[in-house]
């Protein structure tokens, strides 16, 4: 008898992407409002995606089983 299928967490699927090496990438916070007080170089750095920490990666593997 086959095991049950696991559901993908749809909120996580919209927020995280997986790299070719199997790591997760995410966008950065602090880019939604109050942008006039933040300098241009800071806003450019916030545009880049960063790799998720090792501590959070195990949780993401459970939420996104088929990525």
pLDDT per position as a tens digit, 4-36: 899 999 999 999 999 999 999 999 999 999 999
Secondary structure in 3-state letters for the chain: CCCCCCCCCHHHHHHEEECCCCCEEECCCCCCCCCCCCCHHHHHHHHCCEECCHHHHHHHHHHCCCC
The full set of domain ranges for the chain reads: 10-63
Q: What digits encode the pLDDT tens for the residues 41-65?
A: 999 999 999 999 999 999 999 999 9
Secondary structure in 3-state letters for 53-65: CHHHHHHHHHHCC
Q: What is the pLDDT of residue 67?
A: 82
Distance CA 38, CA 34 (A): 7
CATH number of 10-63: 4.10.410.60
């Amino acid at each position: 008898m086959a095991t049950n299928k696991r559901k993908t967490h749809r909120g996580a699927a919209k927020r995280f992407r997986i790299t070719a090496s199997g790591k997760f990438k995410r966008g950065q916070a602090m880019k939604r409002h109050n942008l006039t007080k933040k300098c241009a170089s800071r806003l450019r750095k916030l545009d880049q995606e960063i790799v998720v920490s090792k501590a959070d990666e195990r949780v993401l593997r459970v939420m996104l089983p088929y990525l």
